[in-house]
Structures are given as C-alpha cells and as structure tokens.
Amino acid sequence: MVVKKNILFLGAILMLAGCASSQMKQRKLEREKISQTAKIYCDFVNGEIFPDIEVALNLEMAKRCDSDKSLSITNYKTPSENVGVMYCCSIKAKDESSMLNPLETPKKEEPKSDKK
C-alpha cells in the first residue's frame, strides 16, 4: 500500500514537472516571437552559474545585440538572492553574412573573359 502511494506521488511530481517544463518552453517561444517583432531583447546572466560573468555577458550579448545601438546593463538580484546582470539591447539585423558558416568563406565570382 505504501509502495502504491509512493508511485502515485512520484507520478504526480513527474506530471507537474512536465507541465512546468512545457509552460517554460511556451514562454520562451513567446519571448522570442515578441523580441523579434519589437527588435529588443532582455536577459539575465546569473553570476552564480557564471563566475566569469563579464565573459558570459559579452558572449551572450554578441549573439543577439547590435553593437551600433544603445544598450542597458544593470546589476540585479533575483528574489531568490541570485546575483547577476540584466541586459537589454536592440537585436542585430539578420543579413546574409551572418547566415554563413563562420569557417566558410564567401565565393567570389570569376570575371568572365571575352575570348572568342
């Protein structure tokens, strides 16, 4: 009887965890959609997860931010006392050069010769 209760309890926990995970994914998708429309992105870089927070912040901002536009960086502490940095920036425009593989060089067209 105790084993059945434990199994039911475990099942309930897993089901709730699955729902929470699904809600988090949905919120992240919604954030991505809205940030693309508004052309602005904000995120939190956790100082406890990244002890080298300045490097982590630089890497995260380089992925999304347009360095030619204004940005905002603020020290922040979450309600659960996690210290980190909150940043907001304009999203960089997607162009063809950013879509290339970084190891791949763009192909140059050979000049056509006028030999007849």
> pLDDT value at position 18?
54
Q: What is the pLDDT of residue 93?
A: 80
- Comparing CA positions, the residue from 100, 89, 36 lying closest to residue 67 is 89
Residue range 82-89: mean pLDDT, rounded: 94
φ, ψ of residue 40 in degrees (nearest 5) = -135, 145
Distance CA 7, CA 13 (A): 10
Give the start-to-end residue ranges of the domains of the chain: 1-38, 39-94
**Lowest mean pLDDT, pick from 11-20, 42-51, 99-108:** 99-108
Given a cut of 80, is residue 19 above it in pLDDT? Answer: no
Of 10 and 112, the structure prediction assigns the larger pLDDT to: 112
Mean pLDDT over 49-75 rounds to 94
Give the Cα separation of 111 and 26 in Å (integer).
50
72-85 pLDDT, tens digit per residue, is: 999 999 888 889 99
Mean pLDDT of the chain: 76
pLDDT at 11 over 50: yes
